[in-house]
Structure 1
Amino acid sequence: MPDIVFKSVPFSKEDVTLALESGVDGIITDAAHVDGVRTLALCDVWAEADMPSVALGSKAEEESIAARIASGERLVLAQGWEIIPVENLLAQPAVAGKLAVEAASLTEARLAAGILECGVPTIVVLPEALSSLKSIVAELKLSQGALSLGKATVTEVRTVGLGHRVCVDTLTLMERGQGMLIGNSSAFTFLVHAETEHNEYVAARPFRINAGGVHAYAVMPGDKTCYVGELRSGDEVLIVNADGRTSLATVGRIKTEVRPMLMISAEMETPDGVRSGAVFLQNAETIRLVRSDGTPVSVVALRPGDEIVCRADVAGRHFGMRVQENIREI
């Protein structure tokens, strides 16, 4: 995930304000305005002279830029850079983590973020891309790509008594079809829907996912998992759409309370055969999974044979990191 920096040269207070509201990580501006910009928000602010733009049009310039960055200078590749020279710079360990390039459009920002798969670590958005800045930030900083989801068939729904369940309240207002992947095993998770739906008894809380038992795994950004009971305010969680698209949300609050619980089991066909898993969720009408058509379904309405959205993966996690081990979770 690259840092997004907005370049306001010549300085424009309106442009800088919009950039900060869009969620950029930093601002480059005229030296005379650096202190003023620092009063607007808590972020990095540089004078243009401290992060100058340099042209990259020849092998000699590439070598010079590499040497200067390796020696500690902060340089920005000026608009007009080409992919191969940037790949050459990213391939050098002393340069790779410090490289920055200019982008004048969403297309150029996307291109920079995908070079050598790892992408350029800092993208400097020029004023001509101001109208696309919110899209650039949303796509490059919030989007986490797509996950492969599938149809699973519910095999059992039964009450299991009381248990500690966790509500994950985020700073994001989610929409129908969005939720978190939760399950007893990292190898089989269920798309637990956000509380976006109204009913006559309880108002919608679209910022909330009632994520189930404290012991459960949540699929997290960066191909990691976390126990739901270990989530804390300020953590970033992975929000997943019914079609597999993903984004980030920040946890604002965690609510852990004792509630009556259901155990929901399901199975799905995969290229490796039938896989099965289970999840423990609160026994209440407002807690929902997602049907195969993308619509939410209350857990109290689920019956064996119903189709829901799940994700099959490979078991094996150590402190949330994927490991190659012979692990069985039941």
Structure 2
Amino acid sequence: MKKDKTVWIKADGITWEENKPRITTGLESGADCILLNTEDIPGARELGNIRVAAPGDEADIIVVGCGSEGDGTRELPEDFADSLDISEAIRLSREGKTVAGYVIIRNKRYEQFALELGKTCDYLITVGTDWKVIPLENLIAGLQQLDVEIIAGVQDSEEAKLALETLEHGSDGVLLDTDNLSEIKNVISIRDRSGMERIPLIKARVIKVKSVGMGDRVCVDTASLMIPGEGMLIGSQSNGLFLVHSESEESPYVAARPFRVNAGAVHAYIRIGEKTRYLSELVSGDEVLIINSEGETRPAVIGRVKIERRPLMLVEAEVEGAVIKTLLQNAETIKLVGNNGKPMPVTELKEGDEVLVYFDASARHFGIKIEETIIEK
């Protein structure tokens, strides 16, 4: 199972006035942790609820290496067995504390030190100097069998993307050091998409569109705004899901609601990560998967689920010799996505139209993909 990538914000400058904007923007943008000076911990906790990393027992994650061997304040010992930082990390771990090692990779020897320190920590923060990718590759390879998360120091979103993708797996997170507050938001956006699967979408040919009467349909309102081209994967069969477009487009009939997908009837499946769930099961606080016409995905949190009785229509489509179906509300604001990536109102669908779908010949049991024969009609 993929780990969620994390973003840490470096806010351990000389003064609180220097650090506060980074801390505030990190909190507002959804950063996972703030690296602080010990004396700034009370002020940061007043600003909001977020994990803090700092030297000293008051922190959620205790950092070793700052003002010591890791950052070059003290010289590295000839024998790493004599390292004060490694000894301190071992002591803290034995006391049940969460520990992060901090190392500035100045040369090969510091890379070797980081590898040894990482063996004793929960997190290893590595900050490159002139050369960054090769040391990070070596550390990822050297520590991949251990339960330690590597946090790579970066200065902008371009470096963050590179770090999170190095050696396919990438670092487990990044430590962003920047005064450009907009870059904090950019890196958070990269984090949100990093590690998310790309779902292959293919075209299906519509073979039937039919009004079927009244039924209970589900609107999924998220705490995120969607843009044109984005929606959710919905369908009556778990292995054949239609890309149902968000209400992100203006309409002459109703204002845009870019947080919403009018997903379909209560019985339908919705793709959630690697699994599917019934629309009727969803509640506020659950996580759903937003997907665009290119198959790119991102998570979103449900803010509200609305179930109301509405007129429904059946849409059937043929894909790879199979027929897949879904029931959608019969209204012009509900749209599928055409093969050209543009939304198509269900009220204008006709036989022969092509729409984007996800299709997998494998069956699913309790939402989990399995090799089994299951017939859904």
Give the TM-score normalised by structure 1. Answer: 0.89
What residue in structure 1 maps to residue 329 of structure 2?
A: 282
| Structure 1 pair 201–128 and aligned structure 2 pair: CA distance change class (3 A) | closer
Cα distance, 1:167 vs structure 2: 0.3
Alignment of 1:246-261 (within 5 A): 246-261=297-312
What residue in structure 2 maps to residue 3 of structure 1?
A: 6
Query: SS state of the match for residue 146, structure 1?
Result: coil
8 Å Cα contact 1:62/1:89 also seen in 2 = no
Cα distance, 1:36 vs structure 2: 0.7
What residue in structure 2 maps to residue 327 of structure 1?
A: 374
Give RMSD over aligned pairs.
2.1
Which amino acid in the other structure matches residue 7 of structure 1?
A: K
| Structure 1 pair 152–306 and aligned structure 2 pair: CA distance change class (3 A) | same
Cα distance, 1:326 vs structure 2: 2.5
Which amino acid in the other structure matches residue 87 of structure 1?
A: I
Cα distance, 1:63 vs structure 2: 4.5
Query: SS state of the match for residue 210, structure 2?
Result: strand
What residue in structure 2 maps to residue 78 of structure 1?
A: 127
What residue in structure 2 maps to residue 33 of structure 1?
A: 40
Cα distance, 1:324 vs structure 2: 2.5
What residue in structure 2 maps to residue 188 of structure 1?
A: 240
What residue in structure 1 maps to residue 317 of structure 2?
A: 266
Which amino acid in the other structure matches residue 208 of structure 2?
A: E
Query: SS state of the match for residue 206, structure 1?
Result: coil
Greater mean deviation of Cα atoms: 136-145 or 21-30: 136-145
| Structure 1 pair 119–326 and aligned structure 2 pair: CA distance change class (3 A) | farther
| Structure 1 pair 64–184 and aligned structure 2 pair: CA distance change class (3 A) | same
What residue in structure 1 maps to residue 63 of structure 2?
A: 51
8 Å Cα contact 2:140/2:170 also seen in 1 = no
* Distance in 1 separating the partners of 2:358 and 2:206: 13
What residue in structure 1 maps to residue 283 of structure 2?
A: 232
Cα distance, 1:15 vs structure 2: 1.9
Tell me the percent identity: 38
Cα distance, 1:329 vs structure 2: 2.2
Cα distance, 1:151 vs structure 2: 1.8
What residue in structure 1 maps to residue 338 of structure 2?
A: 291
Deviations along 1:34-79, one digit per CA (max 9) or x if unpaired, are 111111121101224522421453474245213322xx6x441222
* Distance in 1 separating the partners of 2:248 and 2:159: 35
| Structure 1 pair 45–305 and aligned structure 2 pair: CA distance change class (3 A) | same
Deviations along 1:192-233, one digit per CA (max 9) or x if unpaired, are 111123333322212110100111111122x22121111111
Cα distance, 1:186 vs structure 2: 2.3
What residue in structure 2 maps to residue 169 of structure 1?
A: 221
Q: Which structure has the greater CA radius of gyration? A: 2
Cα distance, 1:131 vs structure 2: 4.2
* Distance in 2 separating the partners of 1:87 and 1:46: 22
What residue in structure 2 maps to residue 205 of structure 1?
A: 257
* Distance in 1 separating the partners of 2:228 and 2:112: 53
| Structure 1 pair 124–301 and aligned structure 2 pair: CA distance change class (3 A) | same
* Distance in 2 separating the partners of 1:78 and 1:295: 44
Query: SS state of the match for residue 137, structure 1?
Result: helix
Are positions 1:15 and 2:22 aligned together? yes
Which consecutive residues of structure 2, in runs of 5 or more, have no partner in the other structure?
57-61, 65-101
Are positions 1:99 and 2:150 aligned together? yes
Which consecutive residues of structure 1, in runs of 5 or more, have no partner in the other structure?
none
8 Å Cα contact 2:119/2:143 also seen in 1 = no
Cα distance, 1:101 vs structure 2: 2.5
8 Å Cα contact 1:180/1:191 also seen in 2 = yes
8 Å Cα contact 1:55/1:61 also seen in 2 = no
* Distance in 1 separating the partners of 2:332 and 2:375: 32
* Distance in 2 separating the partners of 1:87 and 1:63: 9
Are positions 1:147 and 2:159 aligned together? no
- From 38, 42, 45, the equivalent of 2:49 is 42
* Distance in 2 separating the partners of 1:319 and 1:124: 38
Cα distance, 1:283 vs structure 2: 1.3
Which amino acid in the other structure matches residue 125 of structure 2?
A: V
| Structure 1 pair 66–212 and aligned structure 2 pair: CA distance change class (3 A) | same
* Distance in 2 separating the partners of 1:78 and 1:39: 28
- From 292, 301, 319, the equivalent of 1:241 is 292
Which amino acid in the other structure matches residue 304 of structure 1?
A: E
8 Å Cα contact 2:29/2:185 also seen in 1 = yes
Deviations along 1:222-277, one digit per CA (max 9) or x if unpaired, are x2212111111112211111222222221100001122211100013xxxx42320
What residue in structure 1 maps to residue 186 of structure 2?
A: 135
Cα distance, 1:129 vs structure 2: 6.5
Which amino acid in the other structure matches residue 297 of structure 1?
A: M
8 Å Cα contact 1:28/1:48 also seen in 2 = no
* Distance in 1 separating the partners of 2:338 and 2:325: 16
What residue in structure 1 maps to residue 87 of structure 2?
A: none
Give the TM-score normalised by structure 2. Answer: 0.78
8 Å Cα contact 2:136/2:152 also seen in 1 = no
Cα distance, 1:100 vs structure 2: 2.5
